[in-house]
C-alpha cells in the first residue's frame, strides 16, 4: 500500500488514489479474444455484475462477465461503502409521487439487500471491517428542518425504525437530525472479492480489458444475443445484462437523456474520531458525508461531498480543498493519505432503472442510476435481474422498471436535464481556447488551438505535452479539463478520458483522437 505522502502539496496527495483499491490484491483475468458461448452475458465487473453473476451461477447458469478495464476499477472501487436503506431524503418524496405501497417496496427491497450483505459476510466469516452503525441525516439550516420532520413522518407511515434528535455528537452545528437504526459500513472490495471467489467456484468466467460496444439482437442473428467488443471478439448468450454503470447499449431506451452524471469527492484523513459513533450525511448544500474507516488498524475519517454535475463548475481541485477545510474545522484533521472521487448517475425520479432495457428487448436487461447508494442498490439489482432470468415475478420489478415515466416529476426533470445538455453542447464549441502550446506549464491542462481547431493539452512532470481532440466520442460535446483528476470530462453525459485520451468512464466507448504534438500547433 502506498500513501503518496512524498507528493503532498497543499496538504493533499498529488495523485488521486482510492484506499479501497490500494489496500487489496485483485486477481487478474484474461481478455476475451475470440468467440465464446454461454447462458448469460454480464457486462460490468463491479459489485452489481459480480453479485448478479454469483446469484445466477448458484442457480446453475453458465455466466460470463466482461469488464472494459480491471474489475472494481469503476464506481465500486471509489464508493463511500455505506450499507444502508437511508438514501438521503427520499421516502416522503416517494410517498408523495408514487404512494405508500411504492415507497414501502423500495424500503423493503433495500433492507433485504443490506441483510443479504450482512448474512453473506457472516456465513463466510469475512474480515471486511463490517460494522453496524446508525445512519444519521442532519440539517444545518432552519429551512431544511421541516424536510427532516416530514421525512420522519414518512418513516412512521412505512414502519421504518427511526427517531428525530435535536443534536448530534460531532462538531457540526446541526438543528435537527433523523436517525435510521442498525445500518452498516464496510470495506467493499474485501466483500466483493469473496463474491468473485464463489462465482468462479460455481463455474463463472470473467474477462477483463474487454469493452462491450454493441449487441446483435435475436432479430439480427435469428437465434441468440451476441455481444461484440471493441477488440473484435464476440460472446453469445440467451440474456445480456448491462451492469456497466452507464448502459453500454444505447440502441434502445435513450438512457443518455434520462440519466444525469454527478461527481463527488472523498478524502481519507487522520483526525478526531472519538465522537463519530454513526454515519452522517447533511441534507443541506454543500453536502457532507462522514464515516470512519480502518487504515493499518487505526481509525481514519472518510469525508465526502461537494457534489456537482460532471464536467461543470469550478476547478475540481477546489472541491478537495473544501473537504479539507471542513475536516480541519470539524475534526482537526492533520494527515490526508488518500483522496479520490466517484461518479454517480441520477434517474429522472431518483429511483434506479432495473429491468428490461425496453419493451422491444426483454432479454437485454439494465441496472443503472443508483444515485450514490450503490451498495444496497447493486444488490437489489442483482436479485431483480436474477428473478427476470429465472422467470420469477416480484413487486420490485414494477417499481424499478426502466419503462416507468411519471409526468411528475419526470417530465420536468427530463426537460431541465436536456436543456442543460444543449447549453453545454453549444457553449463548448464557442469558448475561446486558453493558451498557446508553449505556454502550457508542468502539470497543467488547458485548451489550445491546433491548426484552427480546439484541442486539449496536458504537460506531464517530465515536460511531455499530450494533445487530444476535445470532441467527446459519445455525442460530440466538448470535454473540459478536470485538474483534480487530470482528466478530460464531458459536461453533457459524463464521459471521462485520461489526459492522453483513453476512456475512463462511459457512455463513450472509444478514446479521444490524439494529436501529434510535433505537428504545427497554433
- Return the sign of the alpha-carbon dihedral for residues 509, 18, 349, 389: positive
Q: Would you state the pLDDT for residue 218?
A: 75
What's the pLDDT tens digit per position in 421-450?
555 555 555 566 777 888 888 998 998 888
Looking at the chain, which residues constitute the CATH 2.102.10.10 domain(s)? 430-515
In the predicted model, what is the mean pLDDT of residues 265-289? 93
Q: Which fold has domain 430-515?
A: Rieske Iron-sulfur Protein (2.102.10)
What's the pLDDT tens digit per position in 288-298?
999 999 999 99
Percent of the chain with pLDDT over 70: 91
Q: Which residues contact 12 (CB under 8 A, 6 or more apart)?
A: 267, 317, 320, 321, 324, 336, 339
Maximum distance among all Cα pairs of the chain, rounded to whole angstroms = 68
The helix/strand/coil state of 36 is: strand
Identify whether the C-beta of residue 262 lies closer than 8 Å to the C-beta of residue 346: yes
Distances (CA, A) of 271 to 299, 327, 333: 9, 8, 4
H or E element at residue 205: strand 205-207
Whole-angstrom distance, CA of residue 203 vs CA of residue 62: 7
What's the pLDDT tens digit per position in 116-151?
999 999 999 999 999 999 999 999 999 999 999 999
In the predicted model, what is the mean pLDDT of residues 222-249? 93
State how beta strands 63-66 and 205-207 pair. Answer: parallel
Q: Would you state the pLDDT for residue 328?
A: 96
Whole-angstrom distance, CA of residue 384 vs CA of residue 382: 6
What's the pLDDT tens digit per position in 443-502?
989 988 887 788 999 999 999 999 999 989 888 888 989 888 899 999 888 888 999 999
Q: Would you state the pLDDT for residue 519?
A: 61
217 vs 116, higher pLDDT: 116
Whole-angstrom distance, CA of residue 427 vs CA of residue 312: 11
Whole-angstrom distance, CA of residue 505 vs CA of residue 472: 12
What's the pLDDT tens digit per position in 329-378?
999 999 999 999 999 999 989 999 999 998 888 999 999 999 999 999 99
| pTM of the entire predicted model | 0.89
Whole-angstrom distance, CA of residue 416 vs CA of residue 421: 9
Write the burial class of residue 215 (CB in 10 Å: 0-12 exposed, 13-18 middle, 19+ buried). Answer: buried
Residue 3: pLDDT band (50, 70, 90) is: very low
Residue 4: pLDDT band (50, 70, 90) is: very low
In the predicted model, what is the mean pLDDT of residues 2-7? 42
Looking at the chain, which residues constitute the CATH 3.50.50.60 domain(s)? 31-79+189-258+350-404
Give the residues across from 259 on adjacent strands.
347
The helix/strand/coil state of 385 is: helix
Q: Would you state the pLDDT for residue 5?
A: 43
31: DSSP letter = P
CATH 3.30.420.40 fits 31-79+189-258+350-404, yes or no: no
341 vs 258, higher pLDDT: 341
What's the pLDDT tens digit per position in 13-24?
999 999 999 999
φ/ψ (deg, to 5) at 424? -75, -25
Q: Which residues contact 446 (CB under 8 A, 6 or more apart)?
A: 433, 434, 435, 440, 456, 457, 481
Q: Would you state the pLDDT for residue 1?
A: 37
Phi-psi domain of 452 (left: phi exceeds 0; alpha: psi -120 through 50; beta: other): left
Residues in the chain, how many? Answer: 522
Is the pLDDT confidence value at 419 over 60? no
What's the pLDDT tens digit per position in 14-51?
999 999 999 999 999 999 999 999 999 999 999 999 99
Whole-angstrom distance, CA of residue 334 vs CA of residue 165: 30
Amino acid at each position: 500500500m502506498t500513501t503518496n505522502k512524498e507528493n503532498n502539496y497543499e496538504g493533499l496527495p498529488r495523485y488521486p488514489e482510492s484506499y479501497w483499491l490500494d489496500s487489496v490484491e485483485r486477481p487478474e483475468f484474461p481478455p476475451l479474444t475470440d468467440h465464446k458461448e454461454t447462458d448469460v452475458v454480464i457486462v460490468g465487473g463491479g459489485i452489481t455484475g459480480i453479485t448478479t453473476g454469483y446469484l445466477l451461477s448458484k442457480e446453475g447458469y453458465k455466466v460470463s462477465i466482461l469488464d472494459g478495464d480491471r474489475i472494481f476499477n469503476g464506481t465500486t472501487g471509489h464508493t463511500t461503502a455505506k450499507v444502508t436503506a437511508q438514501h438521503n431524503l427520499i421516502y416522503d418524496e416517494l410517498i408523495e409521487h408514487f404512494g405508500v405501497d411504492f415507497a414501502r417496496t423500495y424500503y423493503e427491497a433495500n433492507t433485504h439487500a443490506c441483510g443479504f450483505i450482512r448474512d453473506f459476510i457472516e456465513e463466510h466469516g469475512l474480515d471486511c471491517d463490517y460494522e453496524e452503525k446508525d445512519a444519521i441525516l442532519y440539517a444545518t439550516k432552519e429551512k431544511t428542518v421541516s424536510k427532516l420532520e416530514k421525512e420522519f413522518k414518512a418513516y412512521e407511515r412505512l414502519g421504518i425504525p427511526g427517531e428525530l434528535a435535536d443534536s448530534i455528537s460531532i462538531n457540526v452545528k446541526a438543528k435537527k437530525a433523523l436517525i435510521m437504526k442498525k445500518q452498516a459500513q464496510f470495506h467493499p472490495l474485501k466483500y466483493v472479492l469473496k463474491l468473485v471467489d464463489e462465482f468462479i467456484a460455481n463455474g463463472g468466467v470473467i474477462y477483463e480489458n474487454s469493452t462491450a460496444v454493441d449487441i446483435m439482437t435475436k432479430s439480427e442473428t435469428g437465434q441468440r444475443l451476441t455481444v461484440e467488443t471493441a477488440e473484435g471478439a464476440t460472446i453469445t448468450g440467451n440474456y445480456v445484462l448491462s451492469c456497466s454503470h452507464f448502459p453500454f447499449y444505447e440502441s434502445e431506451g435513450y438512457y443518455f437523456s434520462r440519466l444525469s452524471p454527478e461527481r463527488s469527492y472523498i478524502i481519507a484523513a487522520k483526525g478526531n474520531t472519538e465522537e463519530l459513533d454513526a454515519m452522517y450525511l447533511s441534507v443541506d448544500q454543500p453536502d457532507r458525508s462522514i464515516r470512519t474507516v480502518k487504515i493499518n488498524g487505526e481509525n481514519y475519517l472518510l469525508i465526502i461531498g461537494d457534489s456537482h454535475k460532471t464536467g461543470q463548475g469550478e476547478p475540481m481541485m477546489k472541491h478537495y480543498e473544501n473537504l479539507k477545510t471542513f475536516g480541519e474545522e470539524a475534526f482537526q484533521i492533520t494527515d490526508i493519505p488518500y483522496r479520490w472521487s466517484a461518479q454517480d448517475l441520477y434517474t429522472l425520479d431518483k429511483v434506479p432503472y432495473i429491468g428490461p432495457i425496453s419493451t422491444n428487448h426483454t432479454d437485454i436487461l439494465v441496472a443503472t442510476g443508483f444515485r450514490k447508494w450503490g451498495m444496497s442498490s447493486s444488490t437489489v439489482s442483482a436479485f431483480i435481474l436474477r428473478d427476470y432470468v429465472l422467470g420469477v415475478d416480484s413487486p420490485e420489478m414494477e417499481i424499478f422498471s426502466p419503462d416507468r415515466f411519471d409526468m411528475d416529476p419526470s417530465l420536468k426533470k427530463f426537460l431541465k436535464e436536456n436543456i442543460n445538455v444543449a447549453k453545454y453542447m453549444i457553449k463548448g464549441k464557442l469558448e475561446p481556447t486558453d493558451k498557446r502550446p508553449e505556454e502550457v506549464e508542468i502539470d497543467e491542462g488547458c485548451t489550445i488551438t491546433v491548426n484552427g481547431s480546439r484541442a486539449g493539452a496536458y504537460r506531464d512532470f517530465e515536460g511531455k505535452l499530450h494533445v487530444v481532440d476535445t470532441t467527446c466520442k459519445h455525442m460530440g460535446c466538448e470535454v473540459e479539463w478536470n485538474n483534480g483528476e487530470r482528466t478530460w470530462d464531458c459536461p453533457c453525459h459524463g464521459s471521462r478520458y485520461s489526459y492522453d485520451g483513453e476512456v475512463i468512464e462511459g457512455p463513450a466507448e472509444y478514446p479521444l483522437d490524439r494529436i501529434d504534438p510535433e505537428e504545427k500547433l497554433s
